[in-house]
Amino acid sequence: DIQMTQSPSSVSASVGDRVTITCRASQGISNWLAWYQQKPGKAPKLLIYGASTLQSGVPSRFRGSGSGTDFTLTISSLQPEDFATYYCQQGDNFSLTFGGGTRVDIK
């Protein structure tokens, strides 16, 4: 199995802050990496796929980057609606795994 390690597990930030979340794969996955946002009691929402492609309707303040084993999700200017938990997920070779999640809460 490919393991996905997310960091940090939680971050406290203020509205307007730049937030960066990283995800590391235990082996190379090219760009088969997605990012999701999940709010309490709701299903995950796809933000980015292919490591850097923004899903339709997702604000441009969300940016994904990386390839191989190291990936980053950046929120350029945190908005009140962005306080949530974020997950990375790899899709290489039809065997999928999720990261442990990063909770973004209000400082």
Taking the complex as a whole, how short is the minimal distance between the CB of residue 14 and another protein, in angstroms? 25
Q: Does 32 bind another protein (CB under 8 A)?
A: yes
Measure the CA–CA gap between 92 and 40, rounded to whole angstroms: 28
DSSP class of 91: -
46-50 contacts, C-beta under 8 A, 24 or more apart: 47/73, 47/86, 48/73
Closer to another protein by Cβ: residue 10 or 77: 10
- In contact, 105 and 8? CB cutoff 8 Å: no
Q: Does 75 bind another protein (CB under 8 A)?
A: no
Q: Does 91 bind another protein (CB under 8 A)?
A: yes
Taking the complex as a whole, how short is the minimal distance between the CB of residue 35 and another protein, in angstroms? 9
Closer to another protein by Cβ: residue 34 or 73: 34
